C-alpha cells in the first residue's frame, strides 16, 4: 500500500511537471541542420515571441533513433530533417503528428509537403535544393547532359561518378525518375547509369565536383548548395575547381530539375504544440526564407520568393524550372528503388 501511495505521488509530480513545461514559453527542437547561419533565425524567433529554444543537434538517423527510444516521454516539439525521404520514413514510423495551419497552407506549395489528410499535414518543406549535373566541358558537351535520362546514354560510358546510390539525396532523385518513367524503364535507366560509371560510387557531393575537375570523372551529380559553397569559397583551390567544371540544371525542356527539401514536423508527443506551430509558421516567414537562401545557399520554399544570392545566380539557379511531382508521392517509391539499386549493382 505504501509503495502504491509513493508511486501515485511520483506520477502526480511528473504529470504536474509536464503540465508546467507545456505552459512555459519554450520549444524543444531536434535538428539535423548543422548550419551556423540558422542561429540567427532561432535567436530572432526567440526575441520576437519570447519562446526559448532548447536544441538537440544530431544527424537524421540519430534523431529518429532518439525519438523511438524516448517514446511518449520525448520532450521534442519540432523535428528538422534534411531530406524528403527521411521525413517520410520518420512519418511512417509514427514519429510526427499532423497539424493544421492556414498560414502554411497558403505559403508552401503542396508538392513540398506531405499529403494532406483530414487531420492536417504531417511534415512541411521550408527550403529546397536542386540536384544538378556537373560536367567537364573539355570531355563532355552540355547537350549530352541536358537531362537525367542521358546519364544512362552509352555516349557517357566510363564518365559518370556519384556518391552512394542509397544516399537519400540520390534515392530521392531516383525515386522521382522512376515515378516519371515507370518501374521497368526506371530500372533500365539505373542499370544504364551503373554501366557508365567511371568508378564505384564513393564520397560526398563535394567530392564528386572535385573528381570532375581532376579528370577522374567527366560527369557527376551534386546538390546546388555544395556548388555555391565552392563558388563563394576564399580558397584558391576551390576556385580552381569551379573554373574547370560547368553546371547544368537538367530537364529544363521537359519535367524540370529535381528538388529536395529541408523540412520540419511537429513531434508526435509534443508538449508545446502551440509553440511548435508558431515556429513552423515562422520558418515560412520572409525573414527565415531569406536566411535559408543566403545563409546556406538554398532556395526558398515559399511561393513567389526570389533568390538574391550571387553564387546561386552564378550557376544559373536564379530562374530554373523545378519538377512538380509531390515529394510525398516520391517518398513512397524509396523501398522499391532501393531494391532496384540492389538488382542493378548500384552500390
> CA torsion angle for 181, 185, 187, 192 (degrees, to 10)?
-110
Give the model confidence (pLDDT) of 273-296 as tens digits: 999 999 999 999 999 998 888 888
Query: Percentage of the chain with pLDDT > 90?
Result: 80
Q: Cβ(260)–Cβ(347) under 8 Å? A: no
In eight-state DSSP terms, residue 89 is: H
Q: What is the per-residue pLDDT for 178?
A: 97
Quote the radius of gyration of the chain (alpha carbons, Å): 22
- Residue 300 β-bridge partners: 127
Q: How many residues does the chain have?
A: 347
DSSP 142-206: GGGGSSSGGGGSGGGTTTEE-S-TTSHHHHHHHHHHHHHH-HHHHHHHHHHHHHTBSS---S-HH
Helices 168-181 + 334-344 axis angle, to 10: 100
Tell me: pLDDT of 158 over 60.
Answer: yes
pTM across the whole model: 0.88
Domains and CATH numbers, the chain: 24-128+259-306 (3.40.190.10), 129-256+324-344 (3.40.190.10)
Residue 319 has pLDDT above 90, yes or no: no
Detail the residues annotated as belonging to a binding site for Fe cation. 34, 225-226
Q: Can you read off the three cell numbers belonging to residue 15?
A: 504529470
Q: Is the dihedral of CA 172, 174, 176, 178 positive or negative?
A: negative
Answer for the pair 323, 148: CB distance below 8 angstroms, yes or no: no
Over residues 15-49, the pLDDT tens digits come to 333 344 444 799 999 999 977 778 889 999 999 99
The stretch 146-175 carries a mean pLDDT of: 97
Q: Which residues belong to the annotated binding site?
A: 34, 225-226
Ramachandran class of 170: left when φ > 0, alpha when ψ lies in -120 to 50, beta otherwise: alpha
What cell numbers appear for 225 in the block?
Answer: 548548395
- pLDDT attached to residue 347: 95
Burial of 66 (0-12, 13-18, 19+ CB in 10 A): middle
Beta bridge partners of 266: 78, 97
- pLDDT 10s digits, 97-135: 999 999 999 999 999 999 999 999 999 999 999 999 999
Mean pLDDT of 162-191: 96
Sorted by sequence, the CB contacts under 8 Å of residue 18 that are 6+ apart come out as 271
Amino acid at each position: 500500500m505504501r509503495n502504491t501511495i509513493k508511486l501515485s505521488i511520483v506520477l502526480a509530480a511528473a504529470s504536474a511537471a509536464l503540465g508546467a513545461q507545456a505552459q512555459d514559453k519554450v520549444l524543444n527542437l531536434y535538428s539535423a541542420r548543422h548550419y551556423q547561419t540558422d542561429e540567427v533565425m532561432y535567436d530572432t524567433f526567440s526575441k520576437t515571441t519570447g519562446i526559448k529554444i532548447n536544441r538537440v543537434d544530431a544527424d537524421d538517423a540519430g534523431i529518429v533513433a532518439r525519438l523511438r527510444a524516448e517514446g511518449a516521454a520525448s520532450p521534442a516539439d519540432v523535428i528538422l530533417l534534411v531530406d524528403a525521404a527521411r521525413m517520410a520514413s520518420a512519418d511512417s514510423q509514427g514519429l510526427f503528428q499532423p497539424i493544421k495551419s492556414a498560414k502554411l497552407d497558403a505559403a508552401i506549395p503542396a508538392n513540398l509537403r506531405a499529403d494532406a489528410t483530414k487531420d492536417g499535414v504531417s511534415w512541411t518543406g521550408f527550403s529546397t535544393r536542386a540536384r544538378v549535373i556537373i560536367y567537364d566541358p573539355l570531355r563532355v558537351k552540355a547537350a549530352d547532359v541536358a537531362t537525367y535520362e542521358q546519364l544512362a546514354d552509352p555516349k557517357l560510358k566510363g564518365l559518370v561518378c556519384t556518391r552512394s546510390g542509397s544516399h537519400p539525396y540520390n534515392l530521392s532523385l531516383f525515386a522521382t525518375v522512376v515515378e516519371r518513367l515507370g518501374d521497368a524503364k526506371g530500372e533500365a535507366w539505373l542499370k544504364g547509369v551503373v554501366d557508365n560509371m567511371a568508378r564505384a560510387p564513393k564520397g560526398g557531393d563535394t567530392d564528386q565536383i572535385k573528381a570532375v575537375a581532376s579528370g577522374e570523372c567527366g560527369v557527376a551529380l551534386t546538390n546546388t548548395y555544395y556548388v555555391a559553397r565552392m563558388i563563394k569559397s576564399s580558397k584558391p583551390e576551390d576556385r580552381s575547381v569551379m573554373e574547370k567544371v560547368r553546371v547544368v540544371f537538367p530537364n529544363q525542356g521537359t519535367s524540370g530539375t529535381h528538388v529536395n527539401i529541408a523540412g520540419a514536423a511537429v513531434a508526435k508527443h509534443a508538449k508545446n504544440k502551440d509553440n511548435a506551430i508558431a515556429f513552423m509558421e515562422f520558418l515560412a516567414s520572409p525573414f527565415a526564407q531569406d536566411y535559408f537562401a543566403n545563409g546556406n545557399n538554398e532556395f526558398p520554399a515559399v511561393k513567389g520568393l526570389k533568390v538574391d544570392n550571387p553564387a546561386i545566380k552564378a550557376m544559373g539557379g536564379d530562374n530554373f524550372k523545378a519538377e512538380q511531382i509531390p515529394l510525398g508521392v516520391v517518398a513512397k517509391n524509396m523501398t522499391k528503388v532501393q531494391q532496384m539499386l540492389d538488382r542493378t549493382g548500384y552500390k
